[in-house]
C-alpha cells in the first residue's frame, strides 16, 4: 500500500507539471486555432529565466515571477511577429513555430552557455515527511497543490468572470464577438501571453524537480505536452488536466513495474485514444472553453 501511495504522488507531481505546459497549448489552440510548436522553447526559457533570477535574488518566489514575466514577454513577441502573419494556415504555423523552437533552443546556449545548470530545491521545500513507510516529498506535494490551484483559478475565470465570458464568446463565434465590440485580436494576444506564461511557469517548477536544466529539455517536454493535448481533446482545458494525470501516473507505475515500457507508455496511451476516441477524452464542442 505504501508503495502505491508513493507512486501515485510521484505520478501526480509529474502530471501537474505536464498539465501546466499543456494548459498553455490547449488555451492557445482552443481560442486561436494556432498550432504552436515553439511552446517548448517558451518552457525552457521560463526555466532558465526563473532559475537565474532565483540564483541572483535567492528568492524562489521572485524566480517564479521572473519566469512568468519572461514567458509573457516572449509570448507577446511571438504572437506579434511570428503568429499574426500565419493565422488560419496550420502548415505555415507548424513550419514557422518549429523554426522558432530551434532558434529559442540555440539562443539559450548563446545567452546562458551550452552546459546544463544544476538546480537545488529551496530549503523550505526540500526534504520529505514520513508517515510509516509512506514518504511524501515536500516539493512534489507543492507541485501538485500549485497545479490544482492553477486549474481552479482558470476554471473560475473561464466560467464565472467577464473575461471568461469574452473568451468563450470568441471561441464560439469570433465574427459575432467582433460585431458586439470585442477586440478579438487583442483577446488573442492576451490568451497567447497567458499560455506562454503557463509554459514558462511549468519550466521553472520543473527545474528543481529534475535537478538540472538544459537547452534541449524544451523539445523533450513539448512532446509530452502535445501528447496530453491530443489525449485530452484539442482545446479542452479539463481534458488536459485529466490526460496529464493519466500520463503522469502511467509513467510512474511503468517506470517501477515495467521499466522497458516507461518511455513508450505515453505513445501507447495516445495511440489507444486516437483509435477508440480520435476527438480526445473531451470533445471540443462541449469542453472547448473549459
Instruction: Between 172 and 43, name the one with better pLDDT.
Output: 43
**What domain range includes position 218?**
1-276
Can you give the CATH number for the domain in which 180 is found?
A: 1.10.3470
In a domain, 283, yes or no: no
Taking only the tens place, the pLDDT of each residue in 107-123 is 999 999 989 999 999 99
- Portion of the chain with pLDDT greater than 90, in percent: 53
* Cβ neighbours of 84 (radius 10 Å): 13
Q: What is the pLDDT of residue 288?
A: 42
Return the closest-CA partner of residue 218 out of 203, 230, 204, 207.
203
Q: What is the pLDDT of residue 171?
A: 66
Rounded CA-CA distance 175/184 in Å is 9
**In this structure, are residues 199 and 24 in contact, taking their beta carbons and an 8 Å threshold?**
yes
**In this structure, are residues 206 and 221 in contact, taking their beta carbons and an 8 Å threshold?**
yes
Rounded CA-CA distance 167/174 in Å is 10
Q: What is the pLDDT of residue 192?
A: 93
In a domain, 157, yes or no: yes
In a domain, 249, yes or no: yes
Mean pLDDT of the chain, nearest integer: 88
**In this structure, are residues 287 and 239 in contact, taking their beta carbons and an 8 Å threshold?**
yes
Count structural domains, the chain: 1
In a domain, 227, yes or no: yes
Which cell goes with 269?
Answer: 496511451
Taking only the tens place, the pLDDT of each residue in 54-73 is 999 999 999 999 999 999 99
Return the closest-CA partner of residue 207 out of 80, 103, 122.
122
Return the closest-CA partner of residue 264 out of 234, 224, 208.
224
In a domain, 21, yes or no: yes
Q: What share of the chain is helix, strand, coil (3-state, %, to 5)?
A: 80, 5, 20
Taking only the tens place, the pLDDT of each residue in 26-56 is 888 877 788 899 999 999 999 999 999 999 9
Give the E-state strand segments of 89-195 in sequence order. 117-118, 128-131, 134-137
In a domain, 64, yes or no: yes
Would strands 134-137 and 128-131 be described as parallel, antiparallel, or unpaired?
antiparallel
- Whole-prediction pTM: 0.90
Rounded CA-CA distance 38/183 in Å is 25
- Return the axis-axis angle of helices 39-57 and 2-32, rounded to nearest 10°: 120
**In this structure, are residues 246 and 269 in contact, taking their beta carbons and an 8 Å threshold?**
yes
Average confidence (pLDDT) over 16-30 = 88
Phi-psi region of 121 (alpha: psi -120 to 50; beta: other; left: phi over 0): beta
Rounded CA-CA distance 48/42 in Å is 10
Q: What is the pLDDT of residue 283?
A: 59
As beta bridge partners, residue 117 has 213
In a domain, 24, yes or no: yes
Return the closest-CA partner of residue 217 out of 21, 19, 67, 61.
21
In a domain, 288, yes or no: no
Rounded CA-CA distance 77/83 in Å is 9
Residue corresponding to grid cell 464568446: 169
Amino acid at each position: 500500500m505504501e508503495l502505491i501511495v508513493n507512486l501515485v504522488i510521484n505520478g501526480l507531481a509529474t502530471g501537474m507539471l505536464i498539465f501546466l505546459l499543456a494548459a498553455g497549448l490547449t488555451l492557445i489552440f482552443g481560442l486561436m486555432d494556432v498550432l504552436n510548436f515553439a511552446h517548448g522553447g517558451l518552457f525552457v526559457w521560463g526555466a532558465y529565466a526563473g532559475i537565474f533570477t532565483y540564483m541572483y535574488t535567492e528568492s524562489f518566489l521572485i524566480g517564479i515571477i521572473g519566469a512568468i514575466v519572461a514567458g509573457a514577454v516572449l509570448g507577446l513577441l511571438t504572437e506579434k511577429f511570428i503568429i499574426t502573419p500565419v493565422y488560419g494556415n496550420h502548415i505555415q504555423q507548424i513550419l514557422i513555430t518549429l523554426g522558432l523552437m530551434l532558434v529559442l533552443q540555440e539562443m539559450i546556449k548563446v545567452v546562458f552557455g551550452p552546459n546544463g545548470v544544476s538546480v537545488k530545491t529551496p530549503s523550505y521545500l526540500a526534504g520529505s515527511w514520513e508517515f510509516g513507510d509512506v514518504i511524501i516529498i515536500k516539493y512534489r506535494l507543492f507541485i501538485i497543490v500549485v497545479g490544482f490551484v492553477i486549474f481552479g483559478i482558470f476554471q473560475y475565470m473561464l466560467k464565472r468572470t467577464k473575461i471568461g465570458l469574452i473568451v468563450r464568446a470568441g471561441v464560439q463565434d469570433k465574427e459575432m464577438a467582433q460585431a458586439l465590440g470585442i477586440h478579438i485580436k487583442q483577446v488573442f494576444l492576451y490568451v497567447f501571453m497567458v499560455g506562454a506564461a503557463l509554459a514558462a511557469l511549468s519550466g521553472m517548477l520543473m527545474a528543481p524537480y529534475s535537478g538540472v536544466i538544459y537547452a534541449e529539455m524544451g523539445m523533450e517536454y513539448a512532446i509530452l505536452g502535445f501528447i496530453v493535448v491530443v489525449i485530452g481533446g484539442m482545446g479542452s482545458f479539463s481534458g488536459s488536466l485529466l490526460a496529464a494525470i493519466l500520463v503522469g501516473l502511467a509513467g510512474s507505475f511503468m517506470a517501477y513495474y515495467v521499466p522497458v515500457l516507461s518511455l513508450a507508455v505515453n505513445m501507447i496511451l495516445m495511440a489507444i485514444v486516437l483509435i477508440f476516441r480520435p476527438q480526445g477524452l473531451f470533445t471540443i464542442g462541449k469542453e472547448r472553453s473549459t
